Amino acid sequence: AQSVSQHNHHVILSEAASLELGCNYSYGGTVNLFWYVQYPGQHLQLLLKYFSGDPLVKGIKGFEAEFIKSKFSFNLRKPSVQWSDTAEYFCAVTGGYQKVTFGTGTKLQVIP
């Protein structure tokens, strides 16, 4: 069975601060990993994804994530957050064409 853990439930940062959101997964095979974002009042949108190759992947809006296989982690980072990054962030895992399993999410609040 696949599962995802996000340990930070609510993060509050000031603008320009650096961000790192933790994500750990459990899956026995080759994984595909995703970060989704949900801005207030909007639907879930893809931020970035990892399939294979370079473990450091870059997404939209300056976000990046690093896949560390030995730690079963896929942490999301951004060097300098903006107020517009206020949203809820979800890590997700799938083994391929099957179901996609989501974490419980991290609410990010950026204070101007």
Partner 1 sequence: DTGVSQDPRHKITKRGQNVTFRCDPISEHNRLYWYRQTLGQGPEFLTYFQNEAQLEKSRLLSDRFSAERPKGSFSTLEIQRTEQGDSAMYLCASRQGTTVNSPLHFGNGTRLTVT
Interface positions with partner 1 (CB under 8 A): 4, 6, 9, 32, 34, 36, 42-46, 49, 51, 90, 92, 96-105
* Of residues 17 and 107, the one with the C-beta less far from partner 1: 107
**CB of 112 vs partner 1, minimal distance in Å:** 25
What is the C-alpha separation between 70 and 55, in angstroms, rounded?
12
Report DSSP letters for 71-108, one per residue: GTEEEEEESS--GGG-EEEEEEEESSSS--EE---EEE
Which amino acid is present at 53? G
**CB of 16 vs partner 1, minimal distance in Å:** 28
What is the 8-class DSSP label of residue 21? E
58 conformational bin, left if phi > 0, alpha if psi -120 to 50, beta if neither: beta
* Of residues 18 and 45, the one with the C-beta less far from partner 1: 45
Structure tokens at 88: 């809820």
**CB of 110 vs partner 1, minimal distance in Å:** 20
* Of residues 54 and 112, the one with the C-beta less far from partner 1: 54
* Of residues 17 and 95, the one with the C-beta less far from partner 1: 95
